[in-house]
Amino acid sequence: MENLSWIQKHDEIFFKNSFSKEDIVYLLSLEGQEEIEFLRQRAYDIATKESGEKVSLRGIIEFSNICSRNCCYCGIRKDAKSVKRYLLSREEIIEIAQKAAVSGYGSVVLQSGERNDEEFIKYVIDVVKGIKDRTKSEKLPEGLGITLSVGEQTEKTYKKFYDAGAHRYLLRIETSDKKFFSKIHPPDQKYDNRLNCLRMLKKIGYQVGTGVMIGIPGQTIDQLASDVLFFRDIDADMIGMGPYIVSQSSLMSSKGMMEKKSLLLLSLKMISATRVVLKDVNIASTTALEAISEDGREKGILFGANVVMPNLSPVDVKSDYLLYEGKPGMEEGSDEYNTDLIQRIRLSGREILFDDWGDSKHFKRRKCLNII
């Protein structure tokens, strides 16, 4: 009888179309193995129904660790003096992208620290144009799909990047709680500005991705539930969330981090809850999951994610892009474009979507409805 009542409650919540904050708190608070499995299965079923059986690939190229910001949680923030700074040349980046395209990747993410100077903006535009020009093929008539992740910029700059050929942009809000945002960022970084950037990106026509860190010291389940509602309310197309992992060069190093097993479980529940609530968005199974569990990225897929982002940065600079401790995949890219990771995803029961941009179904629907 008791068993029947929780199944009924689950059915009531899991099969809803509209979720309250209390519903999401309930999902994130599930603890029993059977209940978590129920959540995972529901999220997995929605992911495969909405986004297809195949997992999309985004080759991530961390092209520079030079940053003008000082986010308190970040290992490569401007004032982290021990970090060796680098900037890959335009040609190096294009060559990596060309090899990725030949290896079956349909899309890359260009990520760096944040800079707003003209030289950097011009350089990013040149790189995007170069990749577009030199990765066209029969399989990719418009070249590789490009996601940019280079932080807060002006609307004019976002438009220039878009016109150059970038069509997706990832800008994480990190936490949707305004007060908490100000605790983990220095005073010159404003929540409202980041929110405004997300709105500008949408207005321009990008597929817009955002996300949060999970398990930040002082963060509550209530805040995480609000984060899921934030994703829904800003009508995000893509979500990239990761566990908060401490970095010794960050300003928050003394606060420590959650115990890994609990952090992994909470992160996986966030993926599932986001899938159950938002349904047709792209959700990445991020590298940080693998930093706390060897098969973290495969687990992310099993809990409702549909995108993996193998690191294609050159091996000699990977260790200089350490946002947090224990970042995995330092050897990724040396193994014929991550055949090992691809194999592991296959073993977990999913095929890979090759030679395709893997755009967000949510975005395609918005486009069809002419609300873009």
- Kindly list the residues in this chain that would bind ligand SF4 in the complex (CB under 6 A): 67, 69-71, 74, 76-77, 113-114, 151
Going by C-alpha positions, the residue among 86, 172, 161 that lies closest to residue 131 is: 161
Cβ atoms of 19 and 277 within 8 Å: the answer is yes
Minimal distance, residue 70 CB to ligand SF4, in Å: 6
Kindly state the smallest distance separating residue 231's Cβ from ligand SF4, in Å.
19
Residue number, 114 or 290, with CB nearest to ligand SF4? 114
Q: Which residue's structure tokens are 């399989």?
A: 139
Least separation, in Å, of the C-beta of 357 and ligand SF4?
25
Q: Which is nearer to ligand SF4, 13 or 83 (CB)?
A: 83
Is the CB of residue 19 less than 8 Å from the CB of residue 5?
A: no
Q: How far is the CB of 340 from ligand SF4 (least distance, A)?
A: 27
**Cβ-based nearer residue to ligand SF4, 77 or 167:** 77
The minimum distance between CB 186 and ligand SF4, in angstroms, equals 9
Question: Which residues are CB-neighbours of 11 under 8 A, at least 6 positions away?
Answer: none
Least Å from the CB of residue 292 to ligand SF4: 19
Q: Cβ atoms within 10 A of the Cβ of 372, count?
A: 15
**Are 312 and 88 in contact, with CB atoms under 8 Å apart?**
no
Nearer to ligand SF4, 214 or 341 (CB): 214
- SS3 percent helix, strand, coil of the chain, rounded to 5, is 45, 15, 40
Q: Concatenated DSSP letters for 79-142? A: T-TTPPP-B--HHHHHHHHHHHHHTT--EEEEEE----SHHHHHHHHHHHHHHHHHT--SS-TT
Residues 6+ apart with CB under 8 A from 278: 228, 231, 232, 236, 239, 362
Distance CA 78, CA 113 (A): 9
Question: Which CB sits closer to ligand SF4, 43 or 67?
Answer: 67
Decide whether 78 or 159 has the Cβ nearer to ligand SF4: 78
If the CB atoms of residues 30 and 110 are measured against ligand SF4, the closer one turns out to be: 110
* Six-digit token string for 149: 């992740």
Q: Which is nearer to ligand SF4, 69 or 167 (CB)?
A: 69
Residue number with CB closer to ligand SF4 (76 or 353): 76
In the complex, least distance from residue 322 CB atom to ligand SF4, rounded to whole angstroms: 11
Least distance between ligand SF4 and beta carbon 67 (Å): 3
Nearest Cα residue to 245 out of 284, 283, 289? 289
d(Cα 62, Cα 120) in Å, to the nearest integer? 14
Helix axes 118-134, 155-164, angle to 10 degrees: 20
| Smallest separation, CB 178 to ligand SF4 (Å) | 17
What's the N-to-C CA distance of the chain in angstroms?
49
